[in-house]
Amino acid sequence: MKSKYIEAAVYKNERISDCVFRLSVKGSFDVKPGQFFMLRAWDQEPLLSRPISVHDVDDEKITFLYHVVGRGTQILSKLREGDDISLTGPLGNGFDLDMLKGKVALVGGGIGVAPLNYLYKKLSMNEGVQVSFHAGYRSQPFGLECIQGSCSLLNIATEDACVGEKGYIIDYFEPKDYDMVVCCGPEIMMSKLMKKCEAAGVPILVSMEKKMACGIGACLVCTCKTKDGKKRSCADGPVFLGSELILND
């Protein structure tokens, strides 16, 4: 789908846990899992739009899952049905579904499950793919709409042990059983998992979150270091092969 700038109306915006909201916008969207939109529901301030991944898409709407962390997401959280919102997208490369064959593990940390939900939905339609889902949270889980009740293997860990194992999900996750790992979460989590996968010789795809200005590949503020030089996480990513990336940590 060609990326567009769209002015639309909020379909629904609901709090689903302490600081996490789910926002839907009416319309028909053709999007790859792992792609994102630049959202804007304000006029002047903050200056920039906010990159948010696609959490789900159906025939009549697109859904985002977001964590309220600052001014932009705070404004999003106050949206009510019918309010104006603008979207630029879909943006980014998204996950390459052709790479995801055999036994695939999706590993999400916190709000990182947002894009994995839609990836799961797409993958589970493909034959020859067995998907398992591994999600870590600080406390109460969220964002598993497409997964819960459908996924044959769902592991959850929470730091406060309120659901599932106690602690970090990657401590309960063993890459070697899989053909491919996909991870989206805090950079420190992705970096640790990349090492684990490297050691196990299992390829991993990660979705990078860098601060963005344009979101469309023009300004070069969102680059990450790869073995092939600096790449734009908005246009060349956000999905990168772990083996390409050079993370600081």
Ligand X SMILES: Cc1cc2nc3c(=O)[nH]c(=O)nc-3n(C[C@H](O)[C@H](O)[C@H](O)COP(=O)(O)OP(=O)(O)OC[C@H]3O[C@@H](n4cnc5c(N)ncnc54)[C@H](O)[C@@H]3O)c2cc1C
Ligand Y SMILES: Cc1cc2nc3c(=O)[nH]c(=O)nc-3n(C[C@H](O)[C@H](O)[C@H](O)COP(=O)(O)O)c2cc1C
Could you list the residues that contact ligand FES (CB under 6 A)?
212-215, 217-222, 232, 234-235
Smallest distance, ligand FES to C-beta of residue 2, A: 18
Smallest distance, a second copy to C-beta of residue 65, A: 24
**In this chain, which of 8, 75, 129, 221 binds ligand Y, going by CB under 6 A?**
221
| Strand ranges inside the chain, DSSP E | 4-17, 20-26, 36-40, 50-53, 56-57, 61-67, 84-91, 102-109, 129-137, 153-158, 165-166, 180-184, 204-207, 223-226, 229-232, 239-241
For residue 52, give every residue at least 6 positions away whose Cβ sits within 8 Å of its Cβ, in sequence order, or none.
36, 37, 39, 64, 66, 114
Choose among ligand FES, a second copy, another protein, none what residue 247 binds, the Cβ cut-off being 5 to 8 Å by kind.
none
Quick one: tokens of 51? 């990159």
Choose among a second copy, ligand X, another protein, none what residue 50 binds, the Cβ cut-off being 5 to 8 Å by kind.
ligand X
CB-nearer residue toward another protein: 15 or 230: 230
Choose one: 42-50, 129-137, 155-163, 233-241; the region binding a second copy (CB under 8 A): 42-50
Which among 63, 54, 56 is positioned nearest to 36, based on CA atoms?
A: 54
Is residue 7 involved in binding a second copy (CB under 8 A)?
no
Choose among ligand X, ligand FES, a second copy, none what residue 219 binds, the Cβ cut-off being 5 to 8 Å by kind.
ligand FES
Torsional sign, CA 30, 238, 158, 203: positive
Torsion from C-alpha of 146, 57, 40, 112, nearest 10 degrees: 30
Smallest distance, ligand X to C-beta of residue 41, A: 11
> What is the rounded CA–CA span in Å between residue 121 and residue 131?
10
Choose among ligand FES, a second copy, another protein, none what residue 17 binds, the Cβ cut-off being 5 to 8 Å by kind.
none
Smallest distance, a second copy to C-beta of residue 45, A: 4
**In this chain, which of 30, 45, 98, 228 binds a second copy, going by CB under 8 A?**
45
Choose among ligand X, another protein, ligand Y, none what residue 230 binds, the Cβ cut-off being 5 to 8 Å by kind.
another protein
CB-nearer residue toward ligand Y: 101 or 210: 210
Tokens 């023009």 correspond to what residue? 218
CA distances from residue 174 to 78, 135, 200, 220 in whole angstroms, order as listed = 40, 13, 9, 35
Residues that bind ligand Y (CB under 6 A): 219, 221
